[in-house]
Structure 1
């Protein structure tokens, strides 16, 4: 009986010891949790502006550009632009017109018969700009386009140091060196290019009108869809 009492007493002492150990561990975890909760997590500010897209504002979005008359006007302008492109006979003028419409140039026109860069390319800022943009379309293993990109970037940076550089061209070069055209969102890029093209002395009023009309129509459609989806 005495040995049974000793074993029972030892077991009771061991159980109390385990309970005490668990209490200490639990208390330690509680203190650690409290310390973590008291710490303030510092997040880097992104300087975001407060959103304006509240329900009342979204429902108030209305635009006249959803009218059928504007769609008809856009179709008419697109037909006139298509005819104008077909009637241009001068190759240089046609290339400039295509560049204005698409902001993209074929790569082969920058190379001579030997596959080297044309010597006159250094003196052609617009050609260098188109070369730089086209070089970002390269696939893996096309080392010549990597060389072309480095070549064009260095020459364009030299052009930016010239004070007599045309302001329209300067804006295009700075914009391209900041981020290539093919890495940008096309619709947002169109909005930026409308403002830039409007400052160009040789701008085509019909192209500018079509671009503004198209942008306003698309914007109106998106606003109307957003207003409908938020109901």
Structure 2
């Protein structure tokens, strides 16, 4: 059995090239936005007044952080938390590292949460920031907020900020427990 070929592929291509094809237009209506978003103006690129303000604000935050390096306070930890949540902490890594390092040293000397006046929010914030920083902090700092049955006191339900901070801290505690490359709670001092 033989196959018959009517024309070679090159002849078909030549015949198609000779034909004049016209493409249909879709006849779309013009955009209601016009082309003003497509236009390029070099004047907007030359104005650079935002970077000076940006540098000024960075330096102001850096000064605020340096003022609290020797004595970490709740306001300072709130500032560090806000900077991290905004995603700009990479600008202030050395200052944040120094503050959290001093806080960890103070924790090792006298213990986190030894002061009875410290609130749940403040203790939870310290716990979470130090854990995120890679410091080994025991979850025993929350024992004073538990009743004799081992449950958290019902009076804490009214402290919304403290409960939210505690939730974030416990979430981080669970992550550290489940991460195989990090030490578990039982191995922490």
Name the TM-score, length of structure 1 as normaliser: 0.32
More helix by share: 1
Return the structure number with greater relative CO, CA threshold 8 A, min gap 6.
Answer: 1
**Which of the pair has more CA radius of gyration?**
1
